[in-house]
Chains A and B, each alone.
Chain A
Amino acid sequence: MVGVTLENVTKRFDNVVALERINLQINPGEFFFLLGPSGCGKTTLLRILAGFYTPEGGHVHFGDRDITLVPPHKRNTGMVFQNYALWPHMTVWKNVEYGLTMRNINQHEKDQRVKRALEMVQMAGYADRSPNQLSGGQQQRVALARALVIEPGVILMDEPLSNLDARLRLEMREHLQDLHKALGVTIIYVTHDQKEALAMGDRVAVMQMGQVAQIGTPREVYTRPATRFVADFIGEINLIPGDITNVQDTIIHTDIGDIRGATDRTFTKGQRVLCAVRPEALDFLEGEPSKHDNVVSGQVKHVIYLGEVEQYIVELLDGTQIKLVEYDPAEQRAMPGDSVRLKFSSQRVVILPDEEDDRHETV
């Protein structure tokens, strides 16, 4: 296993910038996620790591080795493709064996390693089948075995679970985590599914329009999103605009009253910011608030019951709608039309710079 370093990696397609000066440091043995919406450049980045694209600028290192210009077949990466890309003219066994044949490994060792790899993904009984005779989940496992068997320095996964149904996806998630633990190999995994990234990742790089918006552990990117985009993309979030009035105590003046937040960033007085609050951080206020709580008032607009959660859409006095989520809803807490007060702890308020406002100022 090796670590991967990207320095100022830039990729253009016909003058359209797909990646803009990407810098990443991925540790040996890390389960690393590239997360973002379609078109954000995550697959492009993965294909640069595999060697299918050559960056216009910057360098890629595997360990100490600069592999920026090394062709794909000399990189020793194991890639799992979104559509699995199993060769239909070869059996499962031949598919898995192929990479070893290319490495001139002797037949005896090949047999052992292919067998072990197929066992590892629980496909030992299917060695003589043709890929067309396998279900999506089984093809997935074979593709994984093919990537694992060559003992690659890095495993690259391009949305490997996106073609599976929901139940199978959950199963494979656990399976992948177990494999990663057992093998300790570096895995770089591209997905647009935030749940996959949060559930499996050691660290996640959230990408937006060819740039890395934030890198961090799943908990960090969820609870402390760095930008409005990250906050929006991962999970749901309420955004309330306002101005900083007190830098010391992080008090923001908004149209619905002052909100107190918590931040380790420094803001200046009068700066336009967004108060970001997750729906599950909100609760109905009954009785008196504690001194750390922010309180807002409004009227319940909609109540949506989803089984394990219940969502309340509340329209605040100025007309903004915010969402409150209650887990394990034993009973409905409010009816549409009810006037309610909501509380949320200042610790749960993330203060984000208002990027749109920034843009206005720079123009």
Chain B
Amino acid sequence: MRRYDLNWATLSFLVALALFFIAFLFYPLWYAVVKSVMVDNKFTFTFYELMLTSPVYQEAILNSFRLGTITTIATTILSLPIAFFLVRYDFRGKNLLNGLILVPMVLPPFVGAIGMKQMFARFGSINLLLLDIGFIDQPIDWFGGGGFVGVVILEVLHLYPIMYLNVAASLANIDPSLEEAARNMGSSGFKLFRTVTFPLMLPGYFAGAIIVFIWAFTDLGTPLIFNYRQVVSVQIFNSIEDINENPMAYALVVFVLLLTVFFFYLSKTLLGNKRYEMIARGHVSSASRPASTGLTALIYVSMLSLTGIAMLPHLSVFLTSITEQWFMSVLPQELTGKYYGMVFEHPLALSSIKTSLILSVLSTSLDVVLGVAIAYLLTRTRIPYKGVLDATAMLPLALPGLVLAFGYLAGYSGTFLDARNNPMPLLVIAYAVRRLPYMVRAAYAGFQQTSVTLEEAAQNLGASRLRILFQITFPLIIANLVAGGILCFSFAMLEVSDSLILALKDEYYPITKAIYALLGRISDGPYLASAMGVFGMFLLIISLFLAGRFLGRRMGELFRA
């Protein structure tokens, strides 16, 4: 038996794939690293020194750390109890609440920031309301510290669902008999949680915490909208214009990159070897128990108020979008639908929608082709360096979008791909690379759930490999592919950091960058931007719903196969 399944087609695809990853994943990162330590062909650490000594950069780094840390802690505090109650208790409408938790994810936080400002600005609705009823004399500075609080709130409201998903999954993964064994040994309550439950959850919790931390640390859109500029991400964004004169941004990008690598390394070494193989064999599932009426009420009240608060920015965006003028009043004075019409008339809005559609269709197609091929190679063939391929395809998941986008812009500057001339090719590739992990995962899951014996049966009856792929395998995993594709598409439509950084000319603005640009225009800009934000929300809701439908309906069938 040969060691590997390698024919010319596989081999050339692998080579092409390697070149693609080298060009669009490793080279941009490498370029930033090199630029950060080389000036006029001389090796130097000047920029790092400057980064760590200059008060401006010190403050930015410190602020980013504070932002990341506070967001991580706050999302932990929010999501731990929610996960605990939703995983451990049964009550009516549990599925509904479970779905409701994810709602805040449907809006890029920077669109939420528009609504947030409307509500909580110095003369926003809340302050005006409080002034009206005479509760306060002076408007309260809700966003404190030059917008820091506002950014934190928005990050927390946007990211707690991600933390929840990780915490809940790790909690649900714990074999109930492990806790039962502890109770049998005389442990209970908080002692039980501290000695058994939490240590077992730790790997899953840590993974979630890292995602949240890195996300908050590198998020560009939200601080930009709040005009909170003393953070690393905005510093990088600001220095794009004069990157050739001031290479500080390279050092900052490498700093973020190293930080990311460090955290993921930490999670791998500290907790990687502790990823407990959970035995799910016991036929007893006592993990969840019915909640009393009082507890159910408590869960509902707290969950609904949390979701309500998390939805405030969305609601506010919606209200803004249907308002003629909303200024110095608690609620909108005059309603109108005209901004929705304008979305399809305004030249910038219209062209941005077209651009985003083209970009998303192209990048999604690329994702589907690459993702399915990679997943197929990983699950169905014996090829050399499988681990490397797997890790590489998953790498963009850990990589902050900011870092990669910056690498593209700088690394391809002056080539035929220069984003300053026409960002479209790089945008397509950036979108595709960033979302490739989702597609690979979706297809991978499909291949794994589909027993190889189904394919072998067809082979046994004389079908060729290609025929089997199209007649047996694809029909069985189509749900996964559709779901993965929908996710890639909708994420691409509302992608933020690549779009903000790479699209530098009006004519190539995707939707998100157009929204950002419109917000800066005094007159009708914010209203139009809000209307576009509402469209974005609907797009995401519908795609998430569809993806869930596709996977949900077919999930059972797939498992039975």
Residues of A with C-beta under 8 A to B184? 50, 72-73, 75, 77-79, 156
Give A75 to B286 CA distance when docked, in angstroms: 19
Most buried by A among B184, B199, B277: B184
Which residue, of A47, A71, A81, A163, has the highest number of chain B Cβ atoms within 10 A? A81
B185 contacts partner chain A, Cβ-Cβ < 8 Å = yes
Q: Quick check: B185 and A102 within 8 Å, CB to CB?
A: yes
The answer on a CB contact under 8 Å between B182 and A98 is yes
A65 interface residue per 8 A CB criterion: no
Chain A 63-81: CB-based contact to B (< 8 A → 1; otherwise 0) = 0000000011111111101
Q: Which of A38, A82, A146 meets B282, CB within 8 Å?
A: A82
- Is B279 engaged at the interface, CB distance under 8 Å to the other chain? yes
Known contacts A81-B282, A132-B277: does B200 contact A89 (CB below 8 Å)? yes
* Complex: A82 Cα to B274 Cα, angstroms: 23
Contacts of A43 in B (CB 8 A): 283-284
CB contact under 8 A between A98 and B175, given known A72-B180, A87-B200: no
In angstroms, Cα B286 to Cα A79, docked, is: 16
Is A88 within 8 A of B277, CB to CB? yes
Whether A85 lies near B180 (C-beta < 8 A) is: yes
Contact, CB under 8 Å: A132 / B286: no
Indicate with 1 or 0, residue by residue over A92-112, a CB within 8 angstroms of chain B CB atoms. 000000110011000000000
Q: Which of A74, A82, A83, A132 contacts B186 (CB 8 A)?
A: A74
A38 to B284 alpha-carbon distance, docked (Å): 12
Decide if B199 touches A89 in the complex (CB within 8 Å): yes
B532: shortest Cβ distance to chain A, in Å? 49
- Shortest CB–CB separation between residue B175 and chain A, in angstroms? 7
* Cα–Cα distance between A85 and B282 once the two chains are bound (Å): 10
Nearest-CB distance from B297 to chain A (Å)? 22
B292 at the interface (CB under 8 A from A): no
Q: Is A221 an interface residue (CB 8 A)?
A: no
Within the assembled complex, what's the spacing in Å between the Cα atoms of A168 and B2? 38
Please indicate the chain A residues that have their CB under 8 angstroms from the CB of B282 in the complex.
Answer: 81-83
Please give me the residue from chain A that is nearest to B290 by CB atom: A14
Q: Are A73 and B199 in contact (CB under 8 A)?
A: no
Which residue from A52, A78, A99 sits with its C-beta under 8 Å from B286?
A52
Measured between C-beta atoms, what is the minimum distance from A14 to chain B in Å? Answer: 10
Chain A residues contacting B177 (CB-CB under 8 Å) are: 81-83, 85
- B451 on interface, CB distance cutoff 8 Å: no
Given the interface pairs A73-B188, A88-B200, the reply to whether A82 lies near B281 with Cβ below 8 Å is yes
Chain A minimum-CB-distance residue to B202: A89
The docked-state distance in angstroms from the alpha carbon of A146 to that of B196 is: 15
Are the CB atoms of B284 and A103 closer together than 8 Å? Answer: no
Task: Using known A-B contacts A50-B180, A79-B181, determine if residue A85 contacts B186 with beta carbons closer than 8 Å.
Answer: no
A78 CA to B181 CA in the complex, in Å? 9
Number of interface residues of A (CB under 8 A): 33
B201: min CB distance to chain A, Å: 10
Residues of A within 8 A of B243 (CB): none
Known contacts: A43-B284, A81-B282, A88-B277. The answer to whether A73 contacts B183 by CB under 8 A is yes
**Which residues 11-30 in A have Cβ within 8 Å of B in the complex?**
none
CB neighbours of B281 from chain A (8 A): 82-83, 163
Q: How far is the CB of B394 from chain A (nearest CB, A)?
A: 24
Q: In the complex, which residue of chain A has the Cβ closest to the Cβ of B195?
A: A98
B535 at the interface (CB under 8 A from A): no
Does any Cβ of B come within 8 Å of A150's Cβ?
yes
Residues of chain B with a CB closer than 8 A to A163's CB: 281
State whether the Cβ of B178 lies closer than 8 Å to any Cβ in chain A.
Answer: yes
Residue B288, interface by CB 8 Å = no
Contact with A along B166-193 (1 / 0, CB 8 A): 0000000001011011111111100110
B residues near A102, Cβ cutoff 8 Å: 185-187, 191
Complex Cα spacing A270 to B377, Å: 74
Q: CA of A120 to CA of B29 in the docked complex: distance in angstroms?
A: 59
B284 touches A85 (CB 8 A): no
**Nearest chain A CB to B325's CB is how many angstroms away?**
58
Q: Which residues of A contact B279 (CB under 8 A)?
A: 83
CA–CA, A130 to B281, complex, Å? 20
> Hey, which chain A residues are within 8 Å of B30, CB to CB?
none
Bitwise interface map of B from 196 to 237 toward A, beta carbon under 8 Å scored 1, else 0: 100110100000000000000000000000000000000000
Question: What separation, in Å, do the CA atoms of A52 and B188 have in the docked complex?
Answer: 12
With A47-B284, A52-B286, A88-B200 in contact, do A81 and B188 touch (Cβ < 8 Å)?
no
CB pair A150–B286 under 8 Å, yes or no, is no
Residues of B within 8 A of A86 (CB): 181
Which residue of A is nearest B189, CB measured?
A73
Q: List residues of chain A with CB within 8 A of the CB of B538.
A: none
CB distance from A114 to the nearest CB of B (A): 13
What CA separation (Å) do A31 and B37 show in the bound complex? 74
B276 at interface by CB-CB < 8 Å: yes
**Is the pair A87, B181 in contact by a Cβ cutoff of 8 Å?**
yes
Within the assembled complex, what's the spacing in Å between the Cα atoms of A43 and B180?
Answer: 14
- Residue contact A85 to B185, C-beta cutoff 8 Å: no
Residues in B neighbouring A146, C-beta threshold 8 A: 181, 185
Partner of A71, one of B188, B191, B196, B283: B188
CA distance A132 to B278 in the complex (A): 10
* Residues on the A chain within 8 Å of B180, using CB: 50, 52, 72, 79, 81, 85
Check if B187 sits within 8 Å of A85, measured CB to CB. Answer: no
CA gap between A90 and B139 in the complex, in Å: 55
Check A73–B187 contact: CB distance below 8 A.
yes
Find A99's partner among B186, B191, B283 (CB 8 Å cutoff): B186
Please give the distance in Å from A344's CB to the nearest CB on chain B: 40
CB contacts (< 8 Å) of B191 on chain A: these are 102
Q: In the complex, A95→B156 CA distance in Å? A: 38
**Chain B residue with the shortest CB-CB distance to A104:** B186
Could you tell me the distance in whole angstroms from the C-beta of B281 to the nearest C-beta in chain A? 5
Given the interface pairs A81-B282, A82-B281, the reply to whether A87 lies near B196 with Cβ below 8 Å is yes
> What 1/0 mask marks residues of chain A from 303 to 316 whose CB sits below 8 Å from any chain B CB?
00000000000000
30-78 of chain A: CB within 8 A of chain B: 38, 43, 47, 50-53, 71-78
Q: What's the minimum C-beta distance from B130 to chain A, rounded to whole angstroms? A: 49
Contact between B199 and A85, CB atoms less than 8 A apart? no
Cβ of A98 and Cβ of B200 under 8 Å apart? no
Q: How far is the CB of B199 from chain A (nearest CB, A)?
A: 4
What is the bound-complex CA distance between A72 and B182, given in angstroms? Answer: 9
Contact B200 A103 (CB under 8 A): no
B233 CB to closest chain A CB (Å) equals: 36
Report how far A314 CA is from B178 CA in the complex, Å. 51
Tell me if B188 and A150 are in contact (CB < 8 A).
no
By a CB distance below 8 angstroms, the chain B residues around A87 are: 178, 181-182, 196, 199-200
Chain B 258-307 residues near chain A, CB threshold 8 A: 274, 276-277, 279, 281-284, 286
Q: Which residues of A contact B192 (CB under 8 A)?
A: 73
Using CB atoms, name the residue of chain B closest to A97. Answer: B185
Are B200 and A72 in contact, CB atoms less than 8 angstroms apart?
A: no
Residues from chain B with Cβ under 8 Å of A77 in the complex: 184
Contact with A along B241-255 (1 / 0, CB 8 A): 000000000000000
24 contacts between A and B (CB under 8 A): A38-B283, A52-B183, A52-B286, A72-B183, A72-B184, A73-B186, A73-B187, A75-B184, A78-B185, A81-B180, A81-B181, A83-B177, A83-B279, A85-B180, A86-B181, A87-B181, A88-B200, A88-B276, A89-B274, A99-B185, A102-B186, A103-B186, A156-B184, A163-B281
Residues of A bordering B, CB below 8 Å: 38, 43, 47, 50-53, 71-79, 81-83, 85-89, 98-99, 102-103, 132, 146, 150, 156, 163
Can you name 13 extra interface pairs (CB under 8 A) apart from A51-B183, A52-B180, A98-B182?
A43-B283, A47-B286, A72-B184, A73-B192, A75-B184, A78-B185, A82-B177, A83-B177, A83-B279, A83-B281, A85-B177, A132-B277, A150-B185
Q: 5 closest Cβ contacts across the A-B interface?
A: A99-B185, A102-B186, A88-B276, A85-B177, A85-B181
